Chains A and B, each alone.
Chain A
């Protein structure tokens, strides 16, 4: 076929008398064919890669102890590029054997990448696969100390292994620093250099970040008034304390449903917690910043209720652990995808694979007369449903509208609205009062993995398979901002408490922080080794926690963009994270059926004393592990009074 074309071309050229062009073309062709013959010669090339890498590897493993870990870092990129070179040259068989032979070395650090790359079987796959393209296009940067670098150069010169030299020259940038090699523990950066180029990350992370809290927030006003009214309040609380204690005894055994009870208990704990407040009062007051979005004002009665809650807040710390109320979803038949709990714990919503969203009102569940009194004041809504009687029997309100599995649900701050995102590419806004759909937001082109209301309401952020995160206002059906930059699915999204930033976690193993005003990436956090599944930002806005598929939880300092302490927190996916209201505790919920409570203050203290380095001393401290009865924990939420709500679906396997 190609020859025919060529013949036609030559014939055409001759006919038109383009002699010079013909000669040029012929020369071109001979060169091409010689290339082809060189390709056949390159059978031995494949062996060169194999031998070259094998020698480099054994050399690196036999190098001096203090330099070895630095030299070993070089191996992984060289390994990947050798493999991809082999694939690109068409030596499938050799590439396979090469990969299998040396795979083991890197499994510990890069298992997931290896699993992906393993699938590459033809040059076209190299083009197609995101990860491979990234590797090909970006240069890997490796920090080496002076001497390690010299050692490496010497070795490459001595052995004359051109294949290795080529790979290293082409794909690795060395950043040579004087002095002694860095210690092993600083390796985390060196490990995770794939994906985005390190330079970009550094550049992004040098931007200024206003992580402080909002000016004139309710909390701030609260703090002010508190200092004035503290005395009278404590007296009042003492009385309430004894009274509540009595109540607690009488209804201690009926805790199953009534939310009232919980509140009472909450209050009791609050009163006791108050006494400790003096000692554990805020160490540092976070700076205040102006909002970049126009934020809605809370109505006065809402503000009142918040103030009430704040006044009754329990002080949590490593000695005063929270009470945890667990909502178990029964009979979900593997269909529950997500759940959320309103701030006061009275509403629980679940999103299901059968496209439905269900909301349970926990205050109503305990009431026996409910069936006879369908929907109360919402009775007028009943006419809309054809199965009114059916509706009345259900203990929950069923919201139907999506046409695909619902992947996330989120309540607005006062639980009057509910957002749900689904695999049908839409996000829907529901009214919990009307039990009806209000808006359907279309904009994403692929399933929307996550949707989160802003802490002040009105705005919400979404994350999708289309690799973007978007910012929306409830009033517009078009997104206000599109945050693009992640290299793979954006899996989770979380608001900064000051509403000026949103954080997103992605399958590309990075977490990004975006400025909502400009839509630019404000921080890039590299360090996770697998898909990021959950995010939480501390209430003072300074720290962010992220949990991944492997059970690792990382704590980040937003201002510096550095990791504070990576820990293997769980043995399986960390589905959810939540900070307590003062930011002293971090709760994590996982697929291993555990709720774990971590001490943040101690690790922060360690950070302050030893600011330059984040050694193992500043690890998160596990305060308590609370196992559930074969119920993976999907959602965690601290109420404003610091009661911890958790939700999960009982797995059928038990």
Chain B
């Protein structure tokens, strides 16, 4: 009946030395106990309100007991809210974690620090109704929100221009100046010390740094242009940028336009650090990540942010007069922006670019070892970009990872161009023949793929040298399946009717490629074209289960 069960009463009775309490008494006591509890709670809430708190503490209960002329309950002297723990295995049983304390330990322990004395500090919460952006006030975001409601209320936006004036009005406090000087010193001199890590953490976490943002953005722009040869400093600066970006209290948008050029410089500069000794690739990677995160966060605020960025990068990418390092940066930047950017901007240019890159990579054509290394780097980044794009496609449209029957001919482009035509004819005839039934045969491709031996997932990497063999086997399996039930064709047909039109044009590989790009969702084509350009390397981007169909 009452929330205090009579068992509780019995247990308490036993604990205070009344062993045989009659059940009637317990039953009668239970409701009264609940009433008294509620009464005390009500008084305790009053006391809580008068101590201007919204959390009930043990002190309040003591005061309430005091009000009723009852003895307080001893042992809960802490003014902090009590921390209850849930008893394991019970849904609604809680207990106080009250550990036993060894007296000796307490006595031996050094005296704790005396608590700080109470103090009063003042600040301007508002000046003529406008909150100044000082550390004592909550960060700007919190302030910006209310005006919306206010505008709704009475349609006035007179406060807006005042808000914009704020950063100009503000004068940097001495503490902030010292902070800024210290950070600057750390960046330029001691970026490898643990102190710098703490500084980065502080930049990423502390509120009230907002007034410093314009100074930091100027500082970063200045130092980046001055220290292009000094990789550690650049790295430190980029890490500062990253920290500032991740600080939730900083309203960085107005300063992005100052920061972006420095970051992009780090990404696509021709020379960053001393080429030979320094790992300038790392800073390009890092910068690309920052750029991507900026686009993700502020892309919706600045609509042209991403388009401007991609324009800059694609310009660097497509300009053959630019150095390979710049190409690398551009590719990294673009690929960090996501697979769709890669698909739209890099892949259409991939083929032509590869033609350019090929000679640079080959030992006989490019004698300069450094240049060759760079070329391979670029190749690697392209491979990664394409591969991650492919991976993304495959993940989104698992139905598309069927082995497209065009794969063999295209991959044979380099190796077996000669046998391509007849193969193709065969295939197309096969296709037309099987088109009607395939519609019924829309079987889950992964399910059928599991018929194939699934052990050689990793083996593909080893068979990089035996391209022809591999594709032959693939071909044969393809033929087998088509002769029996033709499952693979069903998959080929998923990429809709236009497929048959495309088949007719397959003589010229570039045409096929063009067609393939048109079909955005066609992962099969994508894979095949990528395979054409990268060979076996691309397979590492496909999940093992999906690999089976190529083996």
Q: Which residues of A contact B (CB under 8 A)?
A: 92-93, 96, 116, 118-122, 125, 252-253, 255-257, 265, 269, 319-338, 348, 350, 352-353, 358, 360, 362, 365, 394-396, 405, 407, 423, 446-447, 449, 465, 489, 491, 507, 531, 533, 549, 572-573, 575, 591, 595, 597, 621-629, 632, 634, 646-647, 649
With a cutoff of 8 Å between Cβ atoms, the chain A residues found around residue B67 in the complex are: 446-447, 465
- How far does the alpha carbon of A327 sit from the alpha carbon of B124 in the complex, in Å? 9
With a cutoff of 8 Å between Cβ atoms, the chain A residues found around residue B129 in the complex are: 320-323, 597, 623-624
Complex contact A256–B121 (CB within 8 A): yes
**CB under 8 Å from chain A, chain B span 483-534:** none
B95-103, B147-155, B438-446, B461-469: which lies at the interface: B147-155
- In the complex, which of the residues B80, B128, B138, B150 contacts A323, with contact meaning CB atoms closer than 8 Å? B128
With a cutoff of 8 Å between Cβ atoms, the chain A residues found around residue B34 in the complex are: 119, 121
Complex contact B126–A93 (CB within 8 A): no
B51-59, B347-355, B405-413, B415-423: which lies at the interface: B51-59
Known: A327-B121, A362-B120. A629 touches B137 (CB 8 A): yes
Complex contact A334–B57 (CB within 8 A): yes
Known: A269-B128, A326-B124, A330-B116. A533 touches B49 (CB 8 A): yes
Shortest 10 CB-CB contacts between residues of A and residues of B: A321-B129, A121-B31, A119-B38, A326-B125, A324-B125, A253-B171, A331-B116, A324-B126, A337-B51, A625-B146
Complex contact A621–B126 (CB within 8 A): no
- How far does the alpha carbon of A589 sit from the alpha carbon of B49 in the complex, in Å? 14
With a cutoff of 8 Å between Cβ atoms, the chain B residues found around residue A269 in the complex are: 128
- In the complex, which of the residues A93, A257, A549, A597 contacts B49, with contact meaning CB atoms closer than 8 Å? A549
**CB under 8 Å from chain A, chain B span 123-157:** 123-131, 136-138, 142-143, 146, 149-150, 153-154
A–B pairs, 14, beta carbons within 8 Å = A92-B31, A119-B38, A121-B2, A256-B123, A269-B128, A331-B117, A334-B79, A350-B120, A465-B67, A595-B125, A622-B149, A623-B150, A628-B138, A646-B125
Complex contact A360–B120 (CB within 8 A): yes
With a cutoff of 8 Å between Cβ atoms, the chain A residues found around residue B304 in the complex are: none
Complex contact B39–A119 (CB within 8 A): yes
Complex contact A331–B119 (CB within 8 A): yes
With a cutoff of 8 Å between Cβ atoms, the chain B residues found around residue A446 in the complex are: 67
With a cutoff of 8 Å between Cβ atoms, the chain B residues found around residue A119 in the complex are: 34-35, 38-39
Known: A322-B129, A624-B126. A629 touches B136 (CB 8 A): yes
**CB under 8 Å from chain A, chain B span 19-53:** 31-32, 34-35, 38-39, 42, 46, 49-53
CB distance from A115 to the nearest CB of B (A): 8
Q: Does B63 sit within 8 A of A, measured CB to CB?
A: yes
Complex contact A507–B120 (CB within 8 A): no
- How far does the alpha carbon of A634 sit from the alpha carbon of B53 in the complex, in Å? 10
CB distance from A318 to the nearest CB of B (A): 8
CB distance from B436 to the nearest CB of A (A): 62
Closest to B127 in A: A323
Closest to B136 in A: A629
- How far does the alpha carbon of A531 sit from the alpha carbon of B42 in the complex, in Å? 12
Complex contact B128–A92 (CB within 8 A): no
Closest to A492 in B: B50
Complex contact B171–A622 (CB within 8 A): no
With a cutoff of 8 Å between Cβ atoms, the chain B residues found around residue A396 in the complex are: 118, 120
Closest to B31 in A: A121
With a cutoff of 8 Å between Cβ atoms, the chain A residues found around residue B435 in the complex are: none
Closest to A619 in B: B153
- How far does the alpha carbon of A265 sit from the alpha carbon of B127 in the complex, in Å? 9
Q: Does B1 sit within 8 A of A, measured CB to CB?
A: yes
- In the complex, which of the residues B52, B63, B125, B158 contacts A336, with contact meaning CB atoms closer than 8 Å? B52
- How far does the alpha carbon of A125 sit from the alpha carbon of B51 in the complex, in Å? 29
Closest to B126 in A: A324
- How far does the alpha carbon of A626 sit from the alpha carbon of B147 in the complex, in Å? 11
Closest to B51 in A: A337
CB distance from A587 to the nearest CB of B (A): 11
Complex contact A491–B50 (CB within 8 A): yes
- In the complex, which of the residues A118, A624, A632 contacts B150, with contact meaning CB atoms closer than 8 Å? A624
Complex contact B122–A326 (CB within 8 A): yes
User: What 11 new A-B contacts, CB under 8 Å, besides A326-B122, A330-B121?
Assistant: A92-B31, A119-B34, A256-B121, A323-B129, A396-B120, A423-B66, A622-B149, A624-B150, A628-B125, A629-B138, A649-B52
Complex contact A253–B138 (CB within 8 A): no
Closest to A599 in B: B154
Closest to B27 in A: A92
With a cutoff of 8 Å between Cβ atoms, the chain A residues found around residue B447 in the complex are: none
With a cutoff of 8 Å between Cβ atoms, the chain A residues found around residue B154 in the complex are: 621
Q: Does B481 sit within 8 A of A, measured CB to CB?
A: no
Complex contact B31–A573 (CB within 8 A): no
Complex contact A337–B50 (CB within 8 A): yes
- In the complex, which of the residues A255, A321, A629 contacts B124, with contact meaning CB atoms closer than 8 Å? A255
- How far does the alpha carbon of A120 sit from the alpha carbon of B57 in the complex, in Å? 25
CB distance from B152 to the nearest CB of A (A): 10
Known: A253-B171, A330-B120. A93 touches B1 (CB 8 A): yes
Complex contact B31–A350 (CB within 8 A): no
Q: Does B173 sit within 8 A of A, measured CB to CB?
A: yes
With a cutoff of 8 Å between Cβ atoms, the chain B residues found around residue A257 in the complex are: 121-122
Complex contact A120–B35 (CB within 8 A): yes
Complex contact A121–B35 (CB within 8 A): yes
CB distance from B50 to the nearest CB of A (A): 5
Complex contact B63–A328 (CB within 8 A): no
Q: Does B115 sit within 8 A of A, measured CB to CB?
A: yes
- In the complex, which of the residues A121, A328, A627 contacts B142, with contact meaning CB atoms closer than 8 Å? A627
With a cutoff of 8 Å between Cβ atoms, the chain B residues found around residue A360 in the complex are: 120
With a cutoff of 8 Å between Cβ atoms, the chain B residues found around residue A331 in the complex are: 115-119
Most buried by B among A118, A121, A122: A121
- How far does the alpha carbon of A353 sit from the alpha carbon of B79 in the complex, in Å? 10
- In the complex, which of the residues B1, B35, B128 contacts A321, with contact meaning CB atoms closer than 8 Å? B128
CB distance from B260 to the nearest CB of A (A): 31
Closest to A362 in B: B122
Complex contact B63–A405 (CB within 8 A): yes
Known: A595-B125, A621-B153, A626-B125. A531 touches B49 (CB 8 A): yes
Complex contact A627–B138 (CB within 8 A): yes
With a cutoff of 8 Å between Cβ atoms, the chain B residues found around residue A332 in the complex are: 118
Closest to B143 in A: A627
Complex contact A348–B120 (CB within 8 A): yes
With a cutoff of 8 Å between Cβ atoms, the chain B residues found around residue A121 in the complex are: 1-2, 31-32, 34-35
- How far does the alpha carbon of A358 sit from the alpha carbon of B123 in the complex, in Å? 20
- How far does the alpha carbon of A506 sit from the alpha carbon of B21 in the complex, in Å? 42
- How far does the alpha carbon of A338 sit from the alpha carbon of B49 in the complex, in Å? 11
- How far does the alpha carbon of A328 sit from the alpha carbon of B49 in the complex, in Å? 20
- How far does the alpha carbon of A423 sit from the alpha carbon of B51 in the complex, in Å? 11
Complex contact A407–B50 (CB within 8 A): yes
With a cutoff of 8 Å between Cβ atoms, the chain B residues found around residue A405 in the complex are: 51, 63
With a cutoff of 8 Å between Cβ atoms, the chain A residues found around residue B39 in the complex are: 119
- How far does the alpha carbon of A623 sit from the alpha carbon of B136 in the complex, in Å? 22
CB distance from A141 to the nearest CB of B (A): 27
Complex contact A328–B120 (CB within 8 A): yes
With a cutoff of 8 Å between Cβ atoms, the chain B residues found around residue A255 in the complex are: 123-124
Known: A331-B119, A447-B67. A325 touches B125 (CB 8 A): yes
- How far does the alpha carbon of A490 sit from the alpha carbon of B191 in the complex, in Å? 62
- In the complex, which of the residues B53, B66, B130, B150 contacts A622, with contact meaning CB atoms closer than 8 Å? B150
Known: A118-B38, A489-B46. A575 touches B124 (CB 8 A): no
Closest to B53 in A: A334
Closest to B146 in A: A625
With a cutoff of 8 Å between Cβ atoms, the chain A residues found around residue B66 in the complex are: 423
CB distance from A422 to the nearest CB of B (A): 11
With a cutoff of 8 Å between Cβ atoms, the chain A residues found around residue B59 in the complex are: 353
Complex contact B79–A573 (CB within 8 A): no
With a cutoff of 8 Å between Cβ atoms, the chain B residues found around residue A629 in the complex are: 136-138, 207
Closest to B134 in A: A255
With a cutoff of 8 Å between Cβ atoms, the chain B residues found around residue A465 in the complex are: 46, 67
